[in-house]
Amino acid sequence: MKHLVLRWVLSVVALAVAAYLTGFVLPKHFVIDQSVSGVLKMFVGVFVIGLLNATLGRLLKFLTIPLNCLTLGLFSLVVNAAMFLVAGNLGLGFHVEGFWGALLGSVLYSAMNGVLGIFIKEKDEDG
C-alpha cells in the first residue's frame, strides 16, 4: 500500500514536471493549476489517466493493431496522446491544449513514470 501511495505522489510530480518541460517547447499548450485545490485535483487526474489508459487506451490499441504494425509501433504514441488529451480536458488540475501539447506531454509523462518505476519496486508476494 505504501508503494502505491508513493507511486501515485511521484506520478503527480511527473505530471507537473512534464507540464513544466512542455512549456519550454509549446508555451500554454500544457498548463497546471498551481492552487491547492488544483494540486489535489491532479491526484484525481493521475488516477483518471491511469484508468483511461487501462480501459479505453487498451481497447483503442487493440483496434488499431494493423495501423500500429504499419507504423512500427509509433501509432501507440498517438493513442497515448489522445488519452492524455481527454484527461487534460476534464478539468482535473491540468489542461492540455492541442494534439502536439498532448503528444509531448504524454511522452514526457510516460518516460518519467518509466524511470520512476525502475527505482520503486513492488515487494514480491513470496518475500
Confidence category of residue 2, pLDDT binned at 50, 70, 90: confident
| 103 against 118, higher pLDDT | 103
What's the CA gap between 95 and 127, in Å, rounded? Answer: 42
Q: pLDDT tens across 30-83, in order?
A: 888 888 888 888 899 899 999 998 999 999 999 999 999 999 999 999 999 999
What's the CA gap between 94 and 21, in Å, rounded? Answer: 14
Would you mind telling me the total number of residues written for the chain in this entry?
Answer: 127
pLDDT greater than 60 at residue 126: no
- Please give the share of the chain, as a percent, with pLDDT higher than 90: 43
